[in-house]
Every structure is written in C-alpha cells, then in structure tokens.
C-alpha cells in the first residue's frame, strides 16, 4: 500500500517519514546517562578536592570544617557514580559495573577513615565554643556529619557489594 498523499497549496506530496516518530535507541540513552555521571563525578570531586587545599592536617578546626564540607559535597559525585553504575547495568557492561563498584568500595574505606578522624576532633571543636548559639549550630553540624558518616558508607558499601556480585556473576 502506498503512503498517504497530502495536498499542500495545490501540490501533491508524499507524507514524509519524519512525521512518524523515530525510535530512539535505549542503549544511547544509557550511554548518555553514563557520560553525565562521569561529569557529575568530576565536578563533585573537584569541589571536594578544593575543600582540602591548602592542606592543614593537624589543625582541629581545619579537619572539622574540611570533613564537613566533603560530606556536604558528596551527593553530586555519588549521584554520578550511581548514573555510571545504572548505565553499566542497563547496557550489561561488566567493566563499567566493576569500575563503579570499586569506586564505591574505595569511598567506603575513605569515609571510614574520615569518620575516625572526625570523631577525634569533635571534643576539640566542642571545647573551643562557649557561645550557646554557636554551640547549637555546631551540634547540628556534628549530628548531620555523624548521620552522613553512617548513611554514606552503608549506601556505597551496598552498591559496591551488589555491583561486584553482578559483574562477577556473568
């Protein structure tokens, strides 16, 4: 059967194939999300990395502020890592899944180390603050950081476990 013909201002034309929606390759969409994930990891890691310079390990104030800033900046690279993993799972890319899982495992180790460092500076930070209003803000910051130091390693640990398990089961 011939394609329908349309009359437009006195001319007869064949209906263009462009009027039928093209099917977009889902693999391309997952690849695109993977690239967006890489961008998120780079941008977020740059933000976190800049918080660590100038490096002043040994200063309780610097350690307290830097670790807090790093935890606050972690959602963007974390989301990027999850996009990379999701793209790898959807495309069945073992190497992409393993990279995301290993990066997640490395984050768990880093977060545990930062957690121990953070816990050691809490008493110093509390001893330095006498103002009740500032102390209340400091306590909120400590509670938030401690919650993130529990939630993030659990999340990234689960992602690392599931990703490694999936990548080696193929």
3-class DSSP string for the chain: CCCCEEEECCEEEECCHHHCCCCCCHHHHHHHHHHHHHHHHHHHHHHHHHHCCCCCCCCHHHHHHHHHHHHHHCHHHHHHHHHHHHHHHHHCCHHHHHHHHHHHHHHHHHHHHHHHHHHHHHHHHHHHCCCHHHHHHHHHHHHHHHHHHHHHHHHHHHHHHHHHHHHHCC
In whole angstroms, give the CA distance from residue 28 to residue 33.
9
Task: Give pLDDT, residue 24.
Answer: 76
- Does any domain span residue 16? no
- Whether 134 is in a domain gets the answer yes
Q: How many domains does the chain have?
A: 1
Q: What is the pLDDT of residue 115?
A: 97
Name which of 67, 60, 55 is nearest 121 in CA terms: 60
Question: Does residue 159 lie in a domain region?
Answer: yes
The answer as to whether 141 is a domain residue is yes
120 falls within a domain: yes
The confidence score (pLDDT) of residue 170 equals 64
Residue at 15 is within a domain: no
Question: What is residue 161's predicted lDDT score, i.e. its pLDDT?
Answer: 97
Answer whether residue 12 is part of any domain: no
Global pTM reads 0.81
Domain of 73, in residue numbers: 25-168
Q: Per-residue confidence of the chain (170 residues) as pLDDT tens digits?
A: 555 555 555 555 555 555 556 777 878 999 999 999 999 999 999 999 999 999 988 888 899 999 999 999 999 999 999 999 999 999 999 999 999 999 999 999 999 999 999 999 999 989 988 999 999 999 999 999 999 999 999 999 999 999 999 999 86
pLDDT of residue 23: 77
* Any domain includes 74: yes
> How high is the pLDDT of residue 1?
53
Q: Provide the pLDDT for residue 13.
A: 52
């Amino acid at each position: 059967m011939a394609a329908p013909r349309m009359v437009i201002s006195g001319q007869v034309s064949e209906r263009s194939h462009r009027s039928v929606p093209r099917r977009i390759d889902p693999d391309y969409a997952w690849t695109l999300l993977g690239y967006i994930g890489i961008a998120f990891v780079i941008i977020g890691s740059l933000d976190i990395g800049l918080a660590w310079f100038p490096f002043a390990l040994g200063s309780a104030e610097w350690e307290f502020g830097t670790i807090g800033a790093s935890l606050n900046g972690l959602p963007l690279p974390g989301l990027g890592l999850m996009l990379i993993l999701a793209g790898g799972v959807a495309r069945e890319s073992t190497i992409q899944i393993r990279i995301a899982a290993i990066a997640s495992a490395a984050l768990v180790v880093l977060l545990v180390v930062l957690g121990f460092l953070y816990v050691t500076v809490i008493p110093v930070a509390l001893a330095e603050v006498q103002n009740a209003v500032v102390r209340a803000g400091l306590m909120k910051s400590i509670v938030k950081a401690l919650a993130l130091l529990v939630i993030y390693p659990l999340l990234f640990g689960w992602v690392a476990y599931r990703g490694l398990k999936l990548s080696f089961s193929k």
